[in-house]
Amino acid sequence: MSTQTVMIEKLGAQGDGIVHADGGPIYVPFTLPGETVAIARIKTHGTLMSISDPSADRQDPPCRHFGPDGLNGTCGGCSLQHMNDAAYRSFKRQLVVDALKSKGLTPEVADLVAAHPGERRRVVFAARRTEKDMLIGFNQAESHHIVAIEECPISSAGIIARLPAITAIGAALANSAEAFRIAVLETLSGLDLAVDGIKNLSDQQRRKAIETVLSLRGIARVSLNGEILVEPSKPLVDFGGVHVVPPPGSFTQATKPAEDAMAEVLLAHVGKAKRIADLFAGAGTFSLRLARVGRVHAVESEDKPLVALDHAARNTQGLKPVSVEKRDLFRRPLMTSELKVYDAVVFDPPRAGAEFQCKELARSNVKKVVAVSCNPLTLARDLALLVGGGYRITGVTPIDQFLWTPHVEVVATLEK
């Protein structure tokens, strides 16, 4: 390890400051462009020791768990609390601009739809029983060390208010000193807890955990490794006025405002399309909203979300017909011949994107396409395929829902 003074040149895609030095770039978390800082260097990683010339874009971190004086975040949940709002929002929008430019695409990119404190309805906690108590918090960056939290400005008030209940449930389930995860989703009917990583729970421990949950208020469901342990009330999420019971631990957008912003862009572009395909549909985040517009064919690779989507569609009045199909779109994308019946196609894939599906779409005559993505780099690749097939990008909207992290959602609209 060597200690040296450097000036930060720019931010990388993960939000770390970058310095070009002998031997290549050094990545220094919690720094900003233009700052002169002292770092302890190990190969390509620099640990921030002090700042002699801070940036005008630097601010005091809003959360005490971010780290003493904001020099080195300890919690591991956030990485950009030291950056003021204007610089932070500009950085996130620029991530999208740069990703598109890397594929030769230069469409107009809208201003970032901002995230705000207290909006996160889905949070994943790290947990572990110690000799003295139960640890609930987040893993320190690049570490298995759990930082116990007492506040979390990104999370909803409903989750933070029930931290004692979440801790009690974790304590009732923990049967060793091994770490495990508790994914918490705030629903209309209470918290939905999906616990993963606990093995060989005895019948006695299972009964104790169930009794603990039933003694607490505000808990809708607790599942263990995908199996429902106890469900005092059905957890309900609202997808554009349609209530859905999501499977334990299933994917939902992290914040309701971001989901609504995505849906608003998507619905405006689809317009009055009569037949719509929603690919990578999950439990119906967009399918059920689109079903107020036209007939929807929802395609998803997992059974349980499709069952939840289908049940909600069948039990909600005022929707156009919704059909569902279980299909691995990575291995079996909808072919050009299958796509010809649709006026519009929406796709919202995992981080890997939808390369093979976009190759088929590019050869199709589908009039309108909406691409939703959590990864600007794979989105840029997919959009380049579509543009190469004759599509025109009509809008790109970056949307923030992972506040104070380098992750950004994007909705892109295209027309043939």
Pair (303, 386) in one structural domain: yes
239 is in an annotated binding site: no
Find where tokens 């390890």 sit: 1
Pair (137, 186) in one structural domain: yes
**Average pLDDT, integer, range 329-355:** 97
Tokens of 389: 């097939």
pLDDT score, position 71: 58
Per the CB < 8 A criterion, the answer to whether 193 and 184 are in contact is yes
**Average pLDDT, integer, range 176-193:** 97
pLDDT score, position 242: 98
Q: Specify the DSSP element, H or E, that contains 216.
A: none
pLDDT score, position 107: 98
Please determine, for residue 69, whether its predicted confidence score (pLDDT) is greater than 60: no
98 is in an annotated binding site: no
What average pLDDT is seen over the chain? 95
pLDDT score, position 317: 96
81 is in an annotated binding site: no
How many domains does one find in the chain?
Answer: 3
Instruction: Tell me the pLDDT tens digit for each residue of 137-150.
Output: 999 877 788 988 88
Q: What does the alpha-carbon distance between residue 8 and residue 37 come to, in Å, rounded to a whole number? A: 8
Q: What does the alpha-carbon distance between residue 257 and residue 262 come to, in Å, rounded to a whole number? A: 9
pLDDT score, position 65: 87
Pair (266, 372) in one structural domain: yes
Confirm whether 270 is domain-assigned: yes
Range of the domain at 176: 122-237
Confirm whether 244 is domain-assigned: no
**Average pLDDT, integer, range 311-330:** 98
* Highest mean pLDDT out of 50-54, 249-253, 366-370: 366-370
Instruction: Tell me the pLDDT tens digit for each residue of 355-404.
Output: 999 999 999 999 999 999 999 999 999 999 999 999 999 999 999 999 99
**Average pLDDT, integer, range 24-35:** 94
140 is in an annotated binding site: no
Question: The domain spanning residue 1 has which CATH number?
Answer: 2.40.50.140
pLDDT band at 340 (very low <50, low <70, confident <90, very high): very high
**Average pLDDT, integer, range 256-268:** 98
75 included as an active-site residue: no
Question: The domain spanning residue 207 has which CATH number?
Answer: 2.40.50.1070
**Average pLDDT, integer, range 173-187:** 96
Please determine, for residue 68, whether its predicted confidence score (pLDDT) is greater than 70: no
pLDDT band at 22 (very low <50, low <70, confident <90, very high): confident
Q: What does the alpha-carbon distance between residue 299 and residue 284 come to, in Å, rounded to a whole number? A: 10
Please determine, for residue 200, whether its predicted confidence score (pLDDT) is greater than 70: yes
Question: Whole-structure pTM over 0.75, yes or no?
Answer: yes
Pair (289, 178) in one structural domain: no
Instruction: Tell me the pLDDT tens digit for each residue of 92-117.
Output: 999 999 999 999 999 999 999 999 99
Per the CB < 8 A criterion, the answer to whether 283 and 313 are in contact is no
pLDDT score, position 141: 77
Q: What is the DSSP letter of 155?
A: B
Confirm whether 353 is domain-assigned: yes
Confirm whether 68 is domain-assigned: no
